[in-house]
């Protein structure tokens, strides 16, 4: 059965109405597994691999949690925030401005349509956003764009929902994620999230994304953490 995916405008409207879900720095986004672990791991990995960083880009920044975690370790960053939702972007700017001595730029855009230029950012992070990409061509185009925007010596870090290429293993992950969601918010919450994933998301596996990172030009890739159908990983541009 072919599923009719949500449009960009429909996804934007949902994000506009759910800003509170993306602005808790103590827990991260509770709909994801191990959100706080992933935030801390990515912030630490980005810091130790790119200690000289002066500029960062937060793709699909939401409320700005990942930027704020990085600023705890690198407080002088010049920050660029981009998000599909203007409401979300406004919240992120308000939270990030007081935490950096550097500049803060906000760009309201879909990453697929955004011109990022060449060698602009020391660190790029993308949390729970790339799963909205649809075709293989979109995935490759966006990964190439993000690679090109990273400065030599920089790094790119991702936290996202992922799928398994093995059907039987994916069923295990789906069951375990469902159990997690029931524990967080009950059966109705699980069904709401499952339906949203079916309607909105097109995740790819960790091997697919690590291979794609290499193919677009990153020299080294690293899997930081994986639990059920969520993973944190990244790449370095030496």
pLDDT in tens, 86-98: 999 999 999 999 9
Say how many domains are in the chain. 1
> What's the confidence (pLDDT) of residue 219?
96
218 within domain boundaries? yes
Give the domain extent around 197.
Answer: 8-237
> What's the confidence (pLDDT) of residue 3?
60
CA 219 to CA 3: how far, in whole Å? 36
**Range 111-134 average pLDDT:** 96
Nearest CA to 52 out of 152, 149, 157 is that of 152
> What's the confidence (pLDDT) of residue 167?
94
* Strand pairing report for 55-59 and 121-127: parallel
39 within domain boundaries? yes
Q: Please give the model's pTM, rounded to 2 decimal places.
A: 0.95
Handedness of CA 178, 182, 185, 190 (dihedral sign): positive
125 within domain boundaries? yes
How many C-beta atoms surround the C-beta of residue 191 within 10 A? Answer: 13
> What's the confidence (pLDDT) of residue 218?
98
**Range 128-145 average pLDDT:** 97
Residue 2 pLDDT more than 60?
no
- Is residue 204 within 8 A of residue 118, CB to CB? The reply is no
Instruction: Look over the chain and give the mean of its residue pLDDT values, rounded to a whole number.
Output: 94
pLDDT digits (tens, 9 = 90+) for 4-60: 788 888 888 888 788 777 788 888 889 999 999 999 999 999 999 999 999 999 999
> What's the confidence (pLDDT) of residue 17?
81
CA 217 to CA 141: how far, in whole Å? 12
pLDDT digits (tens, 9 = 90+) for 165-184: 999 999 999 999 999 999 99
CATH code of 41's domain: 3.40.50.150
Tracing tokens 């995935």 back to the chain, one arrives at 139
pLDDT digits (tens, 9 = 90+) for 184-218: 999 999 999 999 999 999 999 999 999 999 999 99
Angle between helices 86-96 and 65-73 (to 10 degrees): 20
> Which has more confidence, 74 or 1?
74
* Strand pairing report for 78-83 and 55-59: parallel
Structure tokens at 154: 């920089």
CA 190 to CA 67: how far, in whole Å? 28
- Is residue 57 within 8 A of residue 158, CB to CB? The reply is no
Spell out the residues 6+ positions from residue 42 whose beta carbon is closer than 8 angstroms to its own: 66, 69, 125, 127, 157, 159, 224, 232, 234
Alpha helices in 81-151, H assignment, sequence order = 86-96, 136-149
């Amino acid at each position: 059965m072919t599923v009719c995916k949500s449009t960009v405008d429909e996804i934007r409207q949902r994000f506009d109405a759910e800003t509170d879900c993306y602005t808790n720095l103590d827990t991260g986004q509770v709909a994801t597994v191990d959100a706080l672990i992933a935030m801390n791991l990515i912030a630490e990995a980005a810091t130790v691999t790119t200690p000289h960083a002066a500029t960062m880009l937060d793709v699909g920044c939401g409320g700005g949690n990942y930027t704020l975690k990085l600023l705890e370790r690198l407080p002088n960053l010049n920050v660029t925030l981009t998000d599909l939702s203007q409401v979300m972007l406004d919240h992120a700017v308000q939270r990030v401005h007081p935490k950096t001595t550097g500049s803060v730029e906000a760009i309201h855009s879909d990453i697929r349509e955004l011109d990022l230029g060449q060698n602009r950012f020391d660190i790029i992070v993308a949390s729970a956003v790339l799963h909205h990409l649809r075709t293989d061509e979109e995935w490759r185009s966006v990964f190439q764009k993000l690679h090109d925007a990273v400065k030599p010596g920089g790094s790119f870090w991702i936290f996202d929902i992922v799928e398994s290429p093995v059907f039987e293993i994916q069923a295990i992950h789906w069951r375990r994620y469902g159990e997690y969601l029931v524990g967080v918010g009950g059966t109705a919450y699980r069904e709401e999230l499952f339906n949203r994933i079916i309607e909105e998301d097109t995740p790819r596996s960790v091997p697919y994304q690590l291979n794609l990172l290499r193919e677009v030009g990153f020299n080294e890739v690293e899997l930081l953490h994986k639990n059920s159908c969520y993973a944190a990983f990244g790449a370095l541009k030496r």
